């Protein structure tokens, strides 16, 4: 019997990405998989792109009643309810680091007898993720950070509105260039000074690349990585830039904070915008403990959780930044994920799936007894 992969329609607002492109769906079909794709008006790929390569099109939400042996593939976490989950699922659930509400969310899989392969924990034998959106997260985060800086300079005291929708990279770059040019003029002709921490990783490279594409010079971008942060924070240098972009992957090991309210309470502070691409505000390991919630594409910035003297400080904490450029990011991600998807039929013997399933089982064992039934 052929293995069935059921690609569900995303329900998170503004989420336009897909972990499977028509091209990778075609490769899976050619390898003997049955591909069912839920219809979606939001997904960056049109339904007819999937239909044209031989995928079976099904209604949105039909994954709930799919045969139990089908594998349900998605991107973002499932809708928040108490329905037990009996299938095998592949998506980002944001539970395995024991984030806020993790036990209640994860218990749905335990109660239903399902299995969760979290995309964040699909790793090779060296512990590296087999697929990630890091580059496009950094690229998109830098774009929104520059847009926020320009908005503050041009419209002091006015809350920033929704982020526009962009069809491709060139449209995004041109929009941001047009937005920051008048702000630079008002700023005395001075470009914003930007610090990127984690600059040597894929996320950091994406952030730096966008800043350069937007016309900023290398001298305007302060690029830090492990060598510069090894002494431990907080770092006074962050308060002296206009924009701080955090590209450091948040792991299980506590990290000394990069900033604190005390380190930002200086009369010399220039910092107006923090873009936290790691975006895990309720984790005890969060290195930017000056905010406590998330922002969105509708409301791209939030204030710090305590007021500060000096320039207004706004934080960008959007947990699906790469959807700003959904086709570019989905094309890359789905291509990286394809080799692992091609091994799904024999997943009990494949290291990437065995490792991910072990993480799931370990977290299920960590559930409080009250959440296991």
Residue list for the binding site: 128, 201-202, 225, 229, 249, 318-321
Distance CA 344, CA 353 (A): 8
Distance CA 202, CA 255 (A): 20
Annotated catalytic, 94?
yes
Annotated catalytic, 151?
no
Left, alpha or beta for 82 (phi > 0: left; psi -120 to 50: alpha)? alpha
Cis peptide before 55 (omega within 30 of 0): no
Distance CA 207, CA 201 (A): 10
Which residues participate in the annotated binding site for NAD(+)?
128, 201-202, 225, 229, 249, 318-321
Which is catalytic among the residues 26, 94, 98, 175? Answer: 94
Contact (Cβ atoms closer than 8 angstroms) between residue 24 and residue 338? yes
Would you give the distance in Å from CA 108 to the centre of its chain?
A: 23
Which is catalytic among the residues 6, 12, 76, 205? Answer: 76
Distance CA 194, CA 220 (A): 6
> What residues are paired with 58 via a beta bridge?
38
* 302 φ, ψ (degrees, to nearest 5): -130, 155
Helix H or strand E segment including 224: strand 221-224
Contact (Cβ atoms closer than 8 angstroms) between residue 119 and residue 91? yes
The closest of 69, 108, 118 to 357, measured between CA atoms, is 118
Residues recognised as catalytic: 76, 94
């Amino acid at each position: 019997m052929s293995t069935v992969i059921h690609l569900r329609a995303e329900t998170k607002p503004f989420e336009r990405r897909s972990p499977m492109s028509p091209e990778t769906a075609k490769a899976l079909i050619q390898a003997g998989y049955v591909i069912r794709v839920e219809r979606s008006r939001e997904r960056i790929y049109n339904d007819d792109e999937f239909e044209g390569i031989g995928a079976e099109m099904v209604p949105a939400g039909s994954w709930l009643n799919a045969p139990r042996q089908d594998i349900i593939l998605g991107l973002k976490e499932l809708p928040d309810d108490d329905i037990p989950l009996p299938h095998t699922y592949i998506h980002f659930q944001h539970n395995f680091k024991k984030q806020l509400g993790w036990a209640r969310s994860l218990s749905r899989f335990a109660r239903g007898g399902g299995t969760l392969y979290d995309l964040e924990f699909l790793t090779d034998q060296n512990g590296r993720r087999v697929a990630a959106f890091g580059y496009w997260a950094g690229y998109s985060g830098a774009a929104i950070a520059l847009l926020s800086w320009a908005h503050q300079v041009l419209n002091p005291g006015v809350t920033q509105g929704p982020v526009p929708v962009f069809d491709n990279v060139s449209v995004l770059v041109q929009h941001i260039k047009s937005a920051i040019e008048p702000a630079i003029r008002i700023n005395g002709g001075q470009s914003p000074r930007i610090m990127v921490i984690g600059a040597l990783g894929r996320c950091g490279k994406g952030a730096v690349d966008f800043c350069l594409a937007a016309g900023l010079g290398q001298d305007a971008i302060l690029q830090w990585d492990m060598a510069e942060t090894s002494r431990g924070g907080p770092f006074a240098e962050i308060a002296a830039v206009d924009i701080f972009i955090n590209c450091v992957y948040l792991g299980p090991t506590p990290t000394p904070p990069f900033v604190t309210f005390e380190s930002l309470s200086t009369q010399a502070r220039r910092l107006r915008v923090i873009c936290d691409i790691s975006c895990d505000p309720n984790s005890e390991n969060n290195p930017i403990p000056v905010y406590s919630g998330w922002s969105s594409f509708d409301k791209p910035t939030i204030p710090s959780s305590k007021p500060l003297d000096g320039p207004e400080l706004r934080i960008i904490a959007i947990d699906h930044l790469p959807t700003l450029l959904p086709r570019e990011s989905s094309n890359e991600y789905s291509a990286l994920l394809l080799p692992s998807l091609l091994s799904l039929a024999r997943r009990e013997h494949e290291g990437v799936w065995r490792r991910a399933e072990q993480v799931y089982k370990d977290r299920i064992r960590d559930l409080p007894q009250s959440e296991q039934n």
